[in-house]
Each structure stands twice: as structure tokens, then as C-alpha cells.
Chains A and B, each alone.
Chain A
Amino acid sequence: MTALRVALIGAPNSGKSSLFNTLTGSHQKVANYPGVTVERRSGTMTTEGGHEVKILDLPGIYSLNDRSLDEKVSREIITGVHEMEKQPEVLVCVINASNIRVHLRLVLELKTLGLPMIVALNMHDLAARDGIEIDVSRLSEELGLPVITTIAVRRSGVEALKEFLDRDASAYTKPMGIKSDTSTRALQKEAGRITSLVQVSEGGHHKMTRILDSVALHPVIGPILFFVILFFMFQAVFSWAETPMDLIEGSFVALGELIGENLPDNWLRSFIQDGLIAGVGSVLVFLPQIIILFLFILTLEASGYMARAAFIMDKLMAKVGLNGRAFIPLLSSFACAIPGIMATRTIANHRDRITTIMIAPLMTCSARLPVYTLMIAAFIPNKPVLGYFGLQGVVFFTLYLAGIISAIIVAAVMKKTITKGTLQPFLMELPKYQMPRLNHVLLELWQRVRAFLRRAGTIILYAAIALWALTLYPFAPKDATEPDIYYSFAGMIGRALQPIFAPLGFNWEISIALVPGMAAREVAVSALGTVYALQGDEDQVAQSLSTVLQNSWPLPTALAFLAWYIYAPQCLATLATARRETNSWRWTAFMAGYLFALAYLVAMIVNISAKALMA
């Protein structure tokens, strides 16, 4: 017996995702449709009678006008012309009982496509609490479709629907009485007519939402509340994540040492220790930040607050041509671009989302701090500027500011060129506030974590192993005068690149260090340590490196190196995440390309102008 193929469809805020989560529980998979950023969520459930049901959660849409990729993909699937997805046998259209006038229009539109359909009248309980009463049997009669009431957030609230799906595909019939005029207006009119017939009492505005919004959307208190929430969130990301991150790093170092003590000194030991374990460690170390940040983001999203945050930030972001929803992903990127890029999923418009992903690496992430700290400590004297500020602090601030300003410029240029398109309306429903369900939040968190580990993690791991091989082989000759890395493939690449980097004032030591430094930005410090053949632990290397650099690098070189790090995508994990989230190698290549080009250009300008000023 083949499983029944059911597709869930519904407008944003219909509670469709909750219904999907409750029906499928942990039996779900999240992926992307080939070539597009549209998320494919699918899962399975087994009914009482032993029928297996495959459930596809289609994107939340208001209509099937092919205006967005979400709408296009949904239409293709429902009409059975999608290149990969089989046509579903039954549609379950989820409508919010508090808002049937709007959601019925989608039902009527879907009905014209001719698939057997069930209407799930969702959040029935909440609507009733607001005084909304609906004549369900009349609604079913008017629509000519079975209507089942659901309370998506409760397992007992979906039993009736589950029972209804407990039969063979042949048991479902196509809808009758299809109207021929399917213009938005005609559908709207019909939806309005049915609503007035079946809505026994209209009910009022959700009281709690009104009260909470008078605070959350207050022109003065609203933004303050928003920044307090953000402050708390980042405090949590930085302080709570620190201990687990140290723990992960520490245990991988310990594990490496343990293996080092117990294996003979050969390539296999080096592979396991420096390639494999270090590689896995470099993936897992991002997990604490990802988990904490997403715990906040998913909770805020589930509560309904995220739409309010977008409301508050919209005007500011609109100046850059972006949407209010881009603010939190970009701010998150100051901690780390990886969760930042992953957080762009809340941006519905694909072009806006791509633009946001592309500029996310320009936000100064915490991995740049070791590099900045090292260079500033070595080259910038801490003399006072304008009385109050130290020069070191000013340079630090300038580096952050340069990233932000560059991001604004890049976004503006992109919106006028490659991500150009019709201006997108901000238009969105502000959902009612809801208590977030812990199990749903955890389920979605797990999906994010799994996606990161699976898709980004594997690329990072392979890359870490490749870099290990590049820096180790071939071995240095016996009479070597330079450090080992000089003779390795990484050394060869670095030396070959040196003439290219010469206009930036980069010597061969820097050129070589940039090769293993591709793994992550902070690796540059230890890579420089290796190139200058320094011994000792991390802190000692940084200490002695500072002195070495002071004596061997001219100031323009040091400044150019700092400028390079504002832009250069020296982080494979970011590129791997961008690949996963854009679902495109071309966008990933574009990101790497434009960032390297900017890095090169700005570093060269800094080097040349600093030389000219000092001459």
C-alpha cells in the first residue's frame, strides 16, 4: 500500500506550521527545492488505522499569482507540473478561524485547481475566546468541502483531522461547483458572502494583543523595549556561549593530545589529530552560539514579536533598500555571520534575503577580534585623541564602522544592479501574540542545528582536512632554512600569490599565512605564528608575534592587513553556510569574489596612501 500524499497549504499566520509540527512530530525533513531558496518541509505520520500519510508543508502564501517563488513552487506542485515533487492526492487548506474572510479566498482559489481538498478550520479555540462563532456545517455546505476544526498546537486538537486522513486516496472526491471567474476581486466577493453567512458573531480585537502592542509598538517605549531584548540576547550569546565553546575547544584539544600520546608519530596520527579532530572541532565550536541565538529568535518568532521588531526597524532598513526583517540577521552577524545568515529565513522576499546574506559577512564578527587585537596592540600607540579617546579604541571603532558603511554601500549597489527588482511591499499581518510552545521551538531549533551540521559541517570538515594536507605536504628538506610550512603546498601557493599581494605591502610570510587562514579568521594569528616559527601556546604566540611583527612589518603593511580583514571572506564556515542558505554555488562564488575584490582594493589603497603620507 502506498502512502497517501497530503499537502498542507495556507496563508501566513494560519497556524499551518504548527499543524505540520503537531501532525508529524520529529518525523520531518527540511531541505530546499533544487536551485531556489524555497524550503521544502516534509514529514510522515501514521494514522490509527495504520495508513501511512506523507505530509508536505507548502510555503505560507495568500494566493497563487506566481508573484513570488513561494507561490510559483506551490502552484507547480499542486497542479502536478513541478520537476521533482509528485502532485499531492489531497490538499489540506489551513484557515485561521479568527480571519476566515481573508483565508477563504485562498480556499476558493485552490478549489479551482480541482484537487480533493479538506479545510482545516484552525485556532478554533482562540477565535471562540474572542467571541467569534462560526457555523461549521454551513461553511462546509457553502464551500462544498469537508471542514474540520483543529487546534494545531495540541495533539488532541488534530485528532479529527488525523481520523479524516485515515483512508485510501480513492476515498477523496474532487470539489464541485467551481466558479469560473477567479479574479482576486471575484474570489474576494464570494469569500465575503460566505463569511457573512457562516460567521454567527464577529467578535472583537484580541484584547491581550492590543494591550501588548500599545507597549511593543509605542513610538518611544517600543524601540527601547526592542533594544533591551536585543541587549539581553547578545549578552546571552556572548556570555552563555563562552563556557560551552571553551569546553568544546578544550575537549577537542585534549582528545587530540590523547591520540597524539597513543599513536606512533606518522601521517595517520597527524591526520587524525590535526586534520580530523581539529576539523570536527572547528564545526562544533559554532554550535553554542547557533543554539542560543536561535532559541531567542525562534521564541520571538513564535510569540509574534518578530513582526513587531520588523515594524520598528523598517524605516531604518528601508533607507538601505532592505526590509525591517533584515535587522536581526545583520545584528546577529556581529557575533558570527553563520547564525546571522541562517536567521535570514524570516525574510520572505528572496532578493532581499540574498542581499542580506551577501552583506552579513561585512559585520565585524567576533572571530576578527583576535586579529584586530594583535595588530592594534602591535602597531597603534595608545595615545589620547581629542582628549578622551584612546587612538587604539578609535582604530577599533573605525574598523567596525568601515564594515557597516561598506555593507550599506554594497546593499545599495546590489539593490540597483543584481538584486534589482520591483520594490517589495512591507505589507504584513501582525499576528496575535501567543505563548510559544517549547516542543515546537525545540523541534525547529533541532532542524536548524541538523541543517548546519549536515550541510555546512561536511563542507567545513572536508576543507579543514584539505588545508591540513596543504600545510603539511610536502615535507621540508633536511637542510631547511625556513619554517616547514614554507616548503609545503600552502607555502608554494602563498609564495606564488606573493607578487599579486605585493601592491598591498604583504610579504611572503603574510601570503603564506593567508592560505591556512582561509579556514577561519582567528587562524591567521596561529598561522602567522607558524610562519614566523614561534613556539608555545596560543597566548605566548600572540605575545611574541606582536614583537616580531613590530620589527618586521612597516606600518602601511599592518594597516593594509587590518583593512584586508574587514572584507576578506577568510572563513570557510561562512561560505559553506551561504552555500547552504542560498542553495547556489553562484551566489557563494559571488560573495567570495566581491569580498576578496573589496579586500584587495581597500588594502591596496590603504597601503599606498599610508606610504605616501609617511614619505
Chain B
Amino acid sequence: MMTRYLSELNIGETSIIAGFDTSRVKDKEFAADLEDRLLEIGFEEGLSIEVLHQGPIGGDPIAVKIGTMTIALRKMEAAAIILGEQQ
């Protein structure tokens, strides 16, 4: 099965965070501490995630639910989040 990333998830879809792949982000400097930043705000392997909203232009940024939190992030950032098996 193809690896899926958070940026490919549609509104209402639920999945599990499986890991991070910041090499998918073009800007290397930006990618350097992206994983730490994602971890700090609450993205963590094994947590369940749901896409709640998408921005009005190009569906970017997106808002996701993790636990009791809603977190907003750009698709570019979401592209570095690997999803696991769908429930």
C-alpha cells in the first residue's frame, strides 16, 4: 500500500500518525527543526488524527483534531506527517 500523508487526508477522514518525514519539505532549513516543532505542539506517533477544516483558498491551511486539541497547519507542513493504517 502507498504511504499516505496528512496533506492527502480529506475533511472528516480519520487516521493514525505513524511518523514524520521532513525530507519531503523542499526548504531544507525549514525542514531542519520541523519535526521538533510538530512534536512540541502535540503531533506524536500513535495518536489518532482527524481533518476538521480546510482553508477557503486551495484547501490550505488545514485544521486537524488531535485528542482534545485543534491544530492549524499548512499543507506543506502536513506533507511531512506520515499516516498509518486507516481505522
A residues contacting B by CB (< 8 A) are 62-63, 65, 67, 98-99, 101-102, 105, 130, 132, 184-185, 188, 192, 202-206, 209-210, 213, 217-220, 222-223, 307, 310-312, 314-316, 318, 324, 422-423, 425-430
Contact = CB atoms under 8 A, between A and B. Distances in A.
Given A205-B68, A423-B29, A430-B63, A314 B55 contact: yes
Contacts of A314: 55, 60-61, 72, 74
A130 B52 CA distance: 19
Interface residues on B, range: 35 or more
Contact of B61 (A105, A204, A315): A315
A65 to B, nearest CB: 7
Given A219-B56, A311-B72, A423 B42 contact: no
A429 B73 contact: no
Contact of B74 (A65, A132, A318, A429): A318
B4 interface: no
Nearest to B74: A426
Given A213-B53, A213-B63, A315-B57, A429 B68 contact: no
Interface string B66-87: 0111111110010000000000
Nearest to A103: B42
Contacts of B38: 427
Given A205-B68, A213-B70, A311 B41 contact: no
Contacts of A429: 41-42, 69-72
B73 A426 contact: yes
B39 A185 contact: yes
A248 to B, nearest CB: 40
A185 B65 CA distance: 21
Interface string B34-60: 101111111010000000111111111
Give the most central of A65, A223, A314, A425: most B CB within 10 Å: A425
A311 B29 CA distance: 24
Interface in B1-57: 27, 29-30, 32-34, 36-42, 44, 52-57
Contacts of A102: 40-42, 69
A10 B41 CA distance: 13
Contacts of A188: 39, 44
A425 B68 contact: no
